Structure 1
Amino acid sequence: MNRKNWIGIGLAFLVLFIILLLPNPDSLPLVGQRVLAVLAFAVVLWVTEAVPYPVSAVMIISWLAVLVGLSPTIEDPTIMYGTKEALGMAIGGFSSTAVGLVAGALFLAAAMEITGLHKRIALFIMSKIGTKPSRLVIGTITVSFVLALFVPSATARAGTIIPILLGIVAAFGLTKQSKLAALLVITAVQSISIWNVGIKTAAAQNMVALGFMQSEFGMDVAWGKWFMYAAPWSILMSVMLFFVMTKLIKPEETNLAGGDSIQSQLQALGKMKPNEWRLISISVALLFLWSTEGIFHPLDSTTVTIIAVAIMLLPKVGIFTWKEVQAKIPWGTLVVFATGISLGMVLLSTEAATWLSSNTFEAMGLAGMSIVAIVAILALFNILIHLGFASATSLASALIPIVIALVTGMESTSFNGPGLVLIMQFVISFGFLLPVNAPQNMLAYGTETFTTKQLLKSGIPITVIGYLFIILFSATYWQWVGLL
């Protein structure tokens, strides 16, 4: 551990104890104040990245179990919650169906890696697009969209696309520091973030919001409905991304060797293997069942994903054995994800989120504003605080419960409250500005193909355009289709 990490840990504990020692406001239960102290502790750890995210998850669970356990209940202040009850609350997120969907998604991403099917799909699409820089940009955006349908991990998609793009750049006789490399790699990470919004299963942070919505509103959003709501925004943003990238970064003159590189990489993969064919069948069936949820069948997205995992684990007809796949699953991701949901649920159940909402958003007079104005202010706030977060999952864990509390606190509203929560979740996937704003950005930044300044140069107009589209959609399309 370096000095910076120790400073981050020290600051997290300092913030925790300061909030614990502050006078308890009359409008906030004591347990709520203690949960807010844990939230502040968690945010400092997440922002500073003082410890790995799974380590922060264990620390958060520990603090919740102790501090909530030693607090008087809201219903009867003479009775303590007890650490057993509090620990159950602290790990309550592990029972969320959203965690099951994320786990299934990780197995699907591992299947793609083991078979190499994601690489074959990417190379096939790129081979059909062409080798002119503008066509390569189109190909990169197209690959990002197609892989988002089948690979439910933004980092895994970046890990697939970026090596292929670097191979194409090398085939043109250019270095990683060339403008073409910067153009293609930045396009890749920005389009990955764009389609994290458009597709429900494309990113884990989407499941965080759905987990909270299921707990608080007793509702889920079907894959097809999410696509109907968000895909038009992502399609328009993909078009705008093409124009922004091709106008901002003018690549070097190239020869046509890149096309040969794509074909040679594709040929090197050989013929389709039986396990690839089986994975295609499972993936297509899964996509069909996701997209027709509630239309042709009553099975929810999590259930069909878990069934797909079970099939992939079957001998002879499956994709992998447990021994092969268990080492490729980032179990720490699941722990972080479930802990984030637990923290959000405890924030809501202890009235901490409600108090925080009333003293921030409601104090700004949002309750008396039009729905478009509310969206505009909340989305701007969302974008600004994202600058300090390296994990959209962590941001969703901290922010979405507060938005839910705001919605439930508005007694009479002329708009759909859960819809507002969902739109804020769309904005949480805005990771366009800095390398530290998204894991896929960090992975790409590690290739040394672009600078922070280059990413920011493209990220600012993309963020502004995306923000304006959020407002425009809130005033029109999302009201027409019943989201707001």
Structure 2
Amino acid sequence: MKNKNLIGIILAFLALFIILMLPNPDSLPIVGQRVLAVLAFAVILWVTEAVPYPVSALMIISWLAILVGLSPTIDDPSTVYGTKEALGMAIAGFSSTAVGLVAGALFLAAAMEITGLHKRIALFIMSKIGTKPSRLVIGTIVVSFVLALFVPSATARAGTIIPILLGIVAAFGLTNTSKLAALLIITAVQSISIWNVGIKTAAAQNMVALGFIHSKFGIDVAWGKWFLYAAPWSILMSILLFFVMTKLIKPEQTNLSEGNSIQTQLKALGKMKSSEWRLIIISIGLLLLWSTEGFLHPLDSTTVTIIAVAITLFPKVGIFTWKEVQAKIPWGTLVVFATGISLGMVLLSTEAATWLSSNTFEAMGLAGMSVIALVAILALFNIVIHLGFSSATSLASALIPIVIALVTGMEPTSFNGPGLVLIMQFVISFGFLLPVNAPQNMLAYGTGTFTTKQLLKSGIPITVLGYILIIIFSATYWQWVGLL
């Protein structure tokens, strides 16, 4: 075990035991204090990555089962929850429909990988855009958007786009350390993060927030509504990204004949296979059902996704067999995702999130501020705290319950509380600054095409512009469409 991992584990256990040993505040139930100890333990493990995320998930479940199980109940302090009930609370996230949607997304991403359809789509779009550097930047952004519609995994999208872009760079006779490589790869990861905001099904962390919103407010945000709220922001950010990247990095002079490398790669894929055609039909059908949810039919996003997965597994008409696909599904991701939802739900049900909110955000005077000032301060706090997290899903699990507690503590308000929570979820996808801020950043960083300084140099203006747009949208568009 590396020394830094050992230090992370020691710090996590120290934080856990110190919080447990502190005097219990009168305004906080005993069980709430114990859950906050587990939260501190979890956050340190997540930030330091001292153990793999699935391992941290099992440790969190164990601590919740023990500490909540041995705690007096809020309603009747003379009785304890018991470990059986506490374990049920600790694994309640596994029954969330959000987990079903993420699981379905992983299967669909695997279908794209097995058939190679995502690569064909990306190459086809790039072949139509052209090979001038500015056009390649446009093509990269367009591909990020299109794949976000059909591939519900940021990491999978990065895994598709990056090899294609590196192939184009090589065809120019340039190396991975060239300015053109840095320009294209940084554009790719930044545009992936931008469209994680714009499309509900583009990122797992979106499902975390929606799970909490549904649990607390009983509200479901349809795919089309999310797109109405967030896509205009992502469109404007994509335009700004183009200007930032083309002004920031000036690539080398190139002499590649138009479309040569891209057409070569596209021809190498051969003719469309029948499995690709079937996946296109399934994907388009799924997108249509997602986008018309709540308007033309009563089926929610999770249900139609699970139906789509069932079709992909169906003999003859499907894409793959269970044996072929099961090895490609990162089951640990589902465990981490469900555990994060469980932790957030326990934070809310034990009043831990409410106490933490009142002693942080409310103590800062946020409760008496205007909604625009509230958005500005919370979004800034969100961006700063994200610097310590490599997983937006983990950040959502820790932060969104506290924001929900703040909103519910302020009711009645002159603005839409769940809408404010959703806006904070948009900001959680701001993984623009450092390689460790998002899995797709780390994947791209591993290619050696850019330095941390280059990513930061592009990430700072993109983050500032994104933050300003969040405030402008909060003052105008999001109020017009009823989000705030």
Aligned partner of 1:94 in structure 2 is 94
Q: How far has the Cα of 1:354 moved from its partner?
A: 0.1
Segments of structure 2 that go 5 or more residues without pairing to the other structure are none
1:174 corresponding residue in structure 2: 174
Contact 1:69–1:83 at 8 Å: present in 2 too?
Answer: yes
Tell me the equivalent position of 1:267: 267
Counterpart in 2 of 1:336? 336
Measured after TM superposition, the shift of residue 409 of structure 1 is 0.3
Tell me what 1:215 maps to.
215
**Residues 136-155 of structure 1 mapped to structure 2, 5 A cutoff:** 136-155=136-155
RMSD of the alignment, in Å?
Answer: 0.5
**Identical aligned residues as a percent:** 89
Deviation at 1:393, TM superposition (A): 0.1
Equivalent residue letter for 1:90: A
Task: State whether structure 2 residue 61 is matched by structure 1 residue 61.
Answer: yes
1:412 offset after TM fit, Å?
2.1
* 1:257 Cα offset (Å): 4.2
Letter in 1 for 2:481: V
1:45-444 matches, cutoff 5 A:
45-257=45-257, 259-444=259-444
Alpha-carbon distance in structure 1 between the residues aligned to 2:258 and 2:335:
42
| Letter in structure 1 aligned against 2:270 | G
Q: How many residues in Structure 1 have an aligned counterpart in Structure 2? A: 484
CA distance in 1, matches of 2:89, 2:361: 26
- 1:384-422 Cα offsets, whole Å, 9 max, x none, are 000000000000000000000000001220000000000
- 3-state SS, counterpart of residue 364 of structure 1: coil
Q: Distance in 2 between matches of 1:145 and 1:411?
A: 37
Once residues 382 and 229 of structure 2 are traced to their aligned partners in structure 1, the CA distance between those partners, rounded to angstroms, is 19
Cα distance in 2 between the residues matched to 1:389 and 1:483: 27
Q: Distance in 2 between matches of 1:411 and 1:99?
A: 29
Q: State the Cα distance separating 1:326 from its structure 2 match.
A: 0.2
CA distance in 2, matches of 1:152, 1:285: 15
Distance in 1 (alpha carbons) for counterparts of 2:153 and 2:317: 25
**Residue matched to 1:474:** 474
Q: Confirm or deny: 8 A CA contact 1:162 1:444 kept in the other structure.
A: yes
| Deviation string, structure 1 residues 259-313 (Cα, Å, up to 9, x no partner) | 2111011001000000000000000000000000010000000000000000000
1:258 Cα offset (Å): 6.7
Distance 1:266 1:411 in 2: 56
C-alpha contact (below 8 Å) 1:171/1:257 kept by paired residues:
no
Quote the Cα distance in structure 1 between the aligned partners of 2:294 and 2:47.
Answer: 39
**Amino acid aligned to 2:334:** L
Runs of 4 or more above 4 Å deviation: none
Q: Distance in 1 between matches of 2:108 and 2:410?
A: 40
Q: State the alpha-carbon separation in 2 of the partners of residues 109 and 124 from structure 1.
A: 19
Q: Is the 8 A contact 1:109 1:153 kept in 2?
A: yes
Distance in 2 (CA, whole Å) between partners of 1:441 and 1:265 is 25
Contact 1:172-1:257 at 8 Å conserved across structures: no
Distance 2:105 2:176 in 1: 32
TM-superposed CA distance for 1:137, in Å, is: 0.1
Q: CA deviation at 1:181?
A: 0.1
CA distance in 2, matches of 1:358, 1:208: 22
The offset of 1:364, in angstroms, is 1.0
TM-score by length of 1: 1.00
Of residues 430-439 and 409-418 in structure 1, the stretch that sits farther from structure 2 once superposed is 409-418
Q: What is the alpha-carbon distance in structure 1 between the residues aligned to residue 442 and residue 71 of structure 2?
A: 40
Q: Deviations over 1:166-217 (max 9, x none)?
A: 0000000000000000000000000000000000000000000000011101
Q: Secondary structure at the match of 1:362?
A: coil
* 2-structure distance, mates of 1:370, 1:290: 34
